[in-house]
A and B are shown apart, each in its own frame.
Chain A
Amino acid sequence: MDAYVQFKWKYNLIRLGFLGWMVFELLNWVKILHFSLDFSWAGLLLTVSWIWGSIEFASWKLRKSGMESLPWAAYLIGLVGTSWDAFGDVAHLYSSVMYYDKYAHFFGGGSAAIVSLFILWRLVQGGKILLDPRMMGFFAICMANFLGILYELEEYSESYFFHNNRMGDAFDTSTDVINNFLGAAVMVVIALIVLRKKKNSESAHLTAV
């Protein structure tokens, strides 16, 4: 049975998490609720919409092309990243906890890289592309890095158009980018080591049989 059908309840539970954040942020943005935060509700809404939307779109495209959907773990990783950001903003952790922003970018970069790796892995499994694990890892890091830069450009646009000081100074932008990259690189290396060990143990098992 297709894993998407088998674990649909997990997918739906995680979707509920995304929806919950979206509704909460929207209600605050239109001033129905009055929670305070460190940055902006528009920024949070854009982030959750983008993350959730991208994961659903990638999953849908994979299924449409006859391949397996993204695993529910990819959805969970996206939700954890979103929650880290949103919770940090609403609970004022960005302003009160030292380096909270840096950890967020490290984890965010790592999450984006893992999800990218899942997408590439599915395409390889489905025979749509041919990439060896190192190239998969390299492109996953590149994709995650690009998403990080998109996020910085979004902050730049918000600051430029709404004058809300969303964007930090030059050091803030650079350290965000560095932490995105480091998070992506570390997570991809760990994932590739795990994949290799799994492959080796599978082939050792087959040889023994």
Chain B
Amino acid sequence: MLRNVFINIIRLGFLVLVSFEVLGLTRIVQVDSPYSWLGFIITGCFIWLSLEIVSSRLKKSGLEQLSPAMYLIGLIGSYLNLFGILTGLFTRYGWYDQVIHGFGGAAAALVFCSVFSKLQIARKISVGPRLLGFFTFCSTMLLSSLYTTEEFLETKIFHDGRMGSGIIGGFHADNHFLWNAIGAALVAFVSAVVIRRRENSLSYSKKSLSLRRGSSQLTRDPVKS
């Protein structure tokens, strides 16, 4: 019940964000953006829709849905974009775009890790912690490629210079990959460590439980048993 309340609040947050960006695109709200409003709208809608689809698919498969924290991370990432436009951080500091991409990579990796963990718990998949971390990382890089593809298509169709031009544009695209990879790698590494520790402590608990059971059987009166 409380979960639904939180998620509905976050959905409202997405709706407000996308609506504002549409107002920016249609110049009803006069805010200058160094990047394209259309790009932000597509990114925001993609994040929101992906979270909803993934959650619904998990529910359909009888698994636990995505937690409100995952929705919140997606929302924060989308709002960081808007924050950068409204405060002029994108134009003032070159590193802000890189930080956003690093956060985006980390956020996407968290969602993937959450999904794969749920599949693992439900025994739909079974992979070791390191491989799970690796799959998390690679899946996030797939999203990074999709983002670059979107930038490319937008530039090709609308000629809005979204990608930048010439060799600078090439560096721009590769820089995005690099920062997405850094964010994703950090999360993938930490999650692999956490999962491994959890598995080790679980197997330790199982061992000590079976040892205790074994020793209690030994101390039982052989005549009575």
A residues with CB within 8 A of B: 128-132, 135, 138-139, 141-143, 145-146, 148-149, 152-153, 155-156, 159-160, 165, 167-175, 177-178, 180-181
Contact = CB atoms under 8 A, between A and B. Distances in A.
For B135, B174, B181, which residue has the most chain A Cβ atoms within 10 angstroms?
B174
Contacts of A177: 145, 148-149
Contact of A174 (B123, B131, B149, B178): B149
Contact residues of A: prevailing secondary structure: helix
Contact of A149 (B156, B170, B175, B177): B177
Contacts of A171: 152, 155-156, 163, 169
A202 to B, nearest CB: 24
B166 interface: yes
B170 A129 contact: no
B86 to A, nearest CB: 26
A174 B142 contact: no
A87 B115 CA distance: 43
Interface string B138-149: 110110110011
B5 interface: no
Nearest to A171: B152
B165 interface: yes
B174 A142 contact: no
For B125, B155, B168, which residue has the most chain A Cβ atoms within 10 angstroms?
B125
B145 A167 contact: no
A167 B170 contact: yes
Contacts of B177: 149, 152-153
13 contacts: A131-B127, A139-B135, A142-B135, A142-B141, A143-B138, A146-B142, A149-B145, A153-B178, A159-B171, A169-B166, A170-B168, A171-B156, A181-B149
Contact of B137 (A130, A146, A160, A178): A146
A165 B170 CA distance: 11
A149 B167 contact: no
Contacts of A149: 141, 144-145, 177, 181
Nearest to A152: B174
B34 interface: no
A177 B177 CA distance: 11
Interface pairs A-B: 5 shortest CB-CB: A170-B169, A174-B152, A130-B126, A142-B138, A156-B174
B149 A173 contact: no
Interface in B158-208: 163-175, 177-178, 181
